[in-house]
Amino acid sequence: MTLALPKVTVPAVVGADLRVPLVTGERVTYANLDHAASAPCLEQVRDAVDELLPWYASVHRGAGFASQVSTRVYEQARDKVRRFVGARPSDTVVFTRNTTDALNLLARSVPKGTAVVLFDSEHHAALLPWRGRHVQRLVTPTSSDAAVVALDRALAAAPVGPRLVIVTGASNVTGELWPVAEFARVARRHGARIALDAAQLAPHRAFSVRELDVDYVAFSGHKIYAPFGAGVLVGRADWLQAAEPYLVGGGATAKVTDHGDRLGVAWSAVPERHEAGSPNVVGVHALGVACDVLSRHWEQTVAHEEALLARLRSGLESIPGLRSLSLFTDSSRVGVVSFTLAGLDAGFIAAALSAEYGIGVRDGAFCAHVAVSRLAARTGAHEQRALRASIGLGTTAEHVDRLVAALRTLVTDGPRWNYVERDGRWVAEDDSRTLPPFLA
Residues marked active site are found at: 367
Q: Are 395 and 10 in contact (CB under 8 A)?
A: no
Give the residue among 269, 268, 205, 279 at the shortest CA–CA distance from 237.
Answer: 269
Q: Are 87 and 93 in contact (CB under 8 A)?
A: yes
Helix segments in 53-115, DSSP class H: 65-85, 99-109
Cα distance between residue 231 and residue 327, in whole Å? 27
Query: Please, what is the Cα angle at 64 between 60 and 67, to 5 degrees?
Result: 40
Q: Are 99 and 127 in contact (CB under 8 A)?
A: no
Q: Reduced to 3 states, what is the DSSP secondary structure of residue 368?
A: coil
Please enumerate in sequence order all residues whose Cβ is within 8 A of that of 101, keeping only pairs 6 or more positions apart, or say none: 231
Neighbours of 99 (CB within 10 A): 26
Q: Are 75 and 68 in contact (CB under 8 A)?
A: no
Q: Are 217 and 194 in contact (CB under 8 A)?
A: no
Cα distance between residue 90 and residue 109, in whole Å? 18
